[in-house]
Amino acid sequence: MPEVTPSKNAVLMVKGLTWLADRREILSDIHFSLPEGKMLGIIGPNGAGKSSLLRCLYRYIKPHSGSITLFGEDISILSAKEFAKQVAVVLQDTPHHFDLTTEQLVAIGLTPHKGPFEVTNASDREIVSDALAKVGLCHKAKQAYEHLSGGEKQRALIARAIVQRPKLLILDEPTNHLDIRYQIQILELLRSLSISVITSIHDLNLASALCDQLLLLDSGKAISHGTPSEVLTEQRIGEVFGVCCKVEVHPQHGNPQISYFYGYDNLSAGDKDHEG
């Protein structure tokens, strides 16, 4: 992989990150850094370690070696609350029996900013309604979160993260299960927030169009890190994903545009898919 150029104003810097599960290396020796205000897409086949990497970044799991620094500070020394004030995370799943209104869900984002004796005041309410306005859900504020559509749910979760007022936003496949209109909408919404974003993403064309940087993972290793045109080459996509494709320049944004070819021997393609 190309050497990471550590920029002076890096939000996040990851060095030699390794994580093992059952003595198997799920993530091995990963290096990258994220400049302020940029959007980093983490791509790779199923089981490449995308979710595990994100979990290390938001401290849900502890890496076995390596360091992760946030604005130059080791993240493991921050208190849970301090960390939550700087890093917000949007995950894929919401539990069942979730009977909050959209507004209540979004207000949960206040949690790290409030002490035990503090009540929700007028300025908190303004933050919540501003966040709802930003994701275009003001009219759904009083509705049950459960009754929102998939795209609206995802936007509500992002509004919750906005209320958290983070400097870094981490998302685990925010475009999953959404139709293409919503996929584009969600990612463009993230870009419009002008905060640093790290998101895992499956659709390479979408990642190419809307991320500033990409980090390609395969079997727990960082294969490539750089701009979409640096990372997404025909050869690399062929090696990592096991598909043949043609990479062209997209007529609108100028980043790589991938066309896949079809007709594979199912077994070998399946093998690749479940590796690592």
Partner 1 sequence: MKASVNNAWVISALLVLSIISLISAASFGAANLSFADVVNVLLHNTLDIGKVSGIAERIIIELRFPRVLLAFIAGAGLSIAGSVLQTVTRNPLADPYLFGISSGASFGAVMVLTLFGGSGLLASSGLFSGLSLFAGADLLDTLEWFSLPLGAFIGAGLSVLMVLSLCGRTMSSQIERMLLSGVAISFMFGALTSLLLYFSSPQAAASVLFWSLGSFAKASWEGLILPAIVVSGATVIILLFKRQIMAMRAGDETAHTLGVNVGRLRLQMLLLCSLITAILVANCGGIGFVGLMIPHTVRMLFPGSFSLMTTALFGGLFMVWVDVLARSLLSHQELPVGIITAVIGSVFFLAILGRKN
The letter for the amino acid at 243 is V
Smallest separation, CB 29 to partner 1 (Å) = 25
Site for partner 1 in 199-258 (CB under 8 A): none
**Residue 253 per-residue DSSP state:** T
Smallest separation, CB 154 to partner 1 (Å) = 14
d(CA 225, CA 209): 16
**Which CB, 97 or 181, lies closer to partner 1?**
97
**Which CB, 4 or 61, lies closer to partner 1?**
61
Return the closest-CA partner of residue 19 out of 34, 10, 29, 11.
29
The site string for partner 1 over 43-72 (x = CB under 8 A, - otherwise) reads ---------------xxx------------
In the chain, which ranges are continuous DSSP H helix? 50-57, 80-86, 102-107, 122-134, 150-163, 180-192, 204-210, 228-231, 234-241, 266-274
Q: Is 89 in the site for partner 1 (CB under 8 A)?
A: yes
Place of tokens 């709802």: 132
Return the closest-CA partner of residue 56 out of 68, 48, 44.
68
Residue 72 near residue 230, CB atoms below 8 Å: no
Smallest separation, CB 229 to partner 1 (Å) = 32
Phi, psi of 117 (to 5 degrees): -100, 0
The site string for partner 1 over 152-171 (x = CB under 8 A, - otherwise) reads ------------x-------
Q: How many residues bind partner 1, per CB under 8 A? A: 39
In the list 93, 123, 265, 266, the residue contacting partner 1 (rule: CB under 8 A) is: 93
Binding site for partner 1 (CB under 8 A): 58-60, 79-85, 87-89, 91, 93-95, 97-101, 103-105, 108-112, 114, 116-117, 120, 125, 128, 142, 144, 164
